[in-house]
Amino acid sequence: MKAIETTATINDEGQLLLDHPLAPSQARRVRVIVLIPEDDESETDDTPTEVILDGIREGLHEALTGQTMPLAQMWDGIDAD
């Protein structure tokens, strides 16, 4: 499974509207995780747009070129206290 991080808005009808289109190689169903800020969290992200886009481009490039690792492997060496 590959991951792409992007931003979106949920409209009044509960539909997810991506800020930028994705470029999948073919039409397919995907899994979506939605992170919604708590009431006490600021809804504005002060990260510059270009920094966000650079991260998305890098992640997409890594995913498309096979530079990924199994999720289970990501937990190796992480100890919960």
Q: What are the mean pLDDT values of the chain's consecutive 10-residue runs (81 residues total)? A: 84 91 78 81 71 90 87 74 57
* pTM for the whole structure: 0.42
Q: What is the pLDDT of residue 75?
A: 77
* pLDDT value for 12: 94
Within 10 A of 25 (CB to CB), how many other CB atoms are there? 6
User: Per DSSP, what are the bridge partners of residue 23?
Assistant: none
pLDDT of residue 40: 62
Q: What is the pLDDT of residue 81?
A: 57
Question: Which of the 8 DSSP states describes residue 19?
Answer: S
Helix (H, G, I), strand (E, B) or coil at 80: coil
